[in-house]
Amino acid sequence: MNSEYISDKILRLTTFNLNLLTVFCLIYSTRSITDVSDILGVTPPSVSQSLQKLRIHFKDPLFIRHGNSISPTIFSDDLYTQVHKLIEQMSDSVNHIEKTNRREELVIYSPFSNVIHDLPALLDKIKKDKLPYKIKYIETNIYLPDADELLNLRKVDVIFSAAPIINSSLKCIKCNETEFVLVCRMSNPYIKEAITSEQLEEFDFVGYINSDSYVKYIQKTSQQNIGNRHFVFETNSLMAQLSVISKTNCLGFISRKAFIEMGEFFNFRKIEPLFPVPKLDIYMTYRKDMEESQGFQMFLQTILNTNIL
């Protein structure tokens, strides 16, 4: 280890408990072991032990008992003059750091892109409700077997997934349901407003690649209702999916929110499927110990009460 820039004075302090100086200042100010024990919420013998450690370190009695009170020694007067200002400066510095770093980074993972449509509304709610968070959103092709490990190792705070994540240390709740619509570009030669599963086979499709095992299950079982589709392009990028549909005669299923927010921009029109289209549940999973934070409780209620996600 390179210790070239480590201060010798700081190294010497590693052998001394700085909390003892806080105890010393309290004793000096109150002139009472009992009062200090009440302030700190500890027993009087515990305060006396701290005082004894200081006496040994400084080789001075520090305080002399006179009946029911104690008086500081000359050395103690001098020590207090030097120490209490330093401790107050340290307290001011620590409090300043706390005040200027109130926002915690809340890391959100999701293996599907429809969550991004709700993030602007979530940020507005965070600002409006003055929640102590900034959001770091990562759209990732995580596999559900790894999700509990990511959460328990604190690499991520919240995961949105299509299937519940079961783990004794985690809390998993259903927070929303996603509907899908079938879209094509305005100039697509298919001019009818509705379509059957048999007619779908006449068109090329754009597919969305997703690593969520439950999404894969939905995609596979949906073939029973939708039938076989001819995929000419598959991607895990929502923007690539929308772009290809907007510039070709391909069809594709996208979330209803994506259609509402981006349909006009990409010049999409909706085709009504004459067959059932599966919906997708969205589950939110986080560590149970996060509920101990008042800020996270407010964040959680913001999501659940406003149906943002």
Q: Do domains 104-175+284-306 and 180-278 have the same CATH topology?
A: yes
In CATH, what number does 180-278 get? Answer: 3.40.190.10
pLDDT band of residue 278 (cuts 50, 70, 90) is confident
Decide: 76 and 62 in contact? Cβ < 8 Å: yes
In this prediction, residues 35-43 reach a mean pLDDT of 88
Q: How far apart are CA 264 and CA 210, in angstroms?
A: 25
Q: Which residue's structure tokens are 């570009």?
A: 185
Cα dihedral across residues 144, 214, 166, 155: positive or negative: positive
Q: Topology of 8-100 in CATH? A: Arc Repressor Mutant, subunit A (1.10.10)
Domain ranges of the chain: 8-100, 104-175+284-306, 180-278
Q: What is the CA radius of gyration of the chain?
A: 32
Pairing outcome for strands 204-208 and 230-235:
parallel
In this prediction, residues 247-268 reach a mean pLDDT of 92
Residue 100: pLDDT over 50: no
0.75 exceeded by pTM: no
Residue 211: pLDDT over 70: no
Q: What is the pLDDT of residue 1?
A: 47
Tens digits of residue pLDDT in 127-151: 887 787 888 888 776 555 577 788 8
Q: Give the amino acid at 92.
A: D
Q: Which CATH class is domain 104-175+284-306?
A: alpha beta
Q: How far apart are CA 274 and CA 55, in angstroms?
A: 87
Query: Token digits for 301?
Result: 């209620």
CB within 8 A of 164, min separation 6: which ones?
Answer: 172, 174, 283, 285
Residue 309: pLDDT over 60: no
pLDDT band of residue 224 (cuts 50, 70, 90) is low
Give which of 159, 185, 191 is closest to 248, Cα–Cα. Answer: 185
In this prediction, residues 31-38 reach a mean pLDDT of 89
Residue 271: pLDDT over 90: yes
Of 126-135, 159-168, 282-291, 300-309, the poorest mean pLDDT is in 300-309
Residue 75: pLDDT over 70: yes
Q: Which residue has the higher pLDDT, 211 or 106?
A: 106
Query: Token digits for 224?
Result: 């029973």
Q: How far apart are CA 20 and CA 79, in angstroms?
A: 13
Helices (H), 222-269: 223-226, 238-247, 256-262
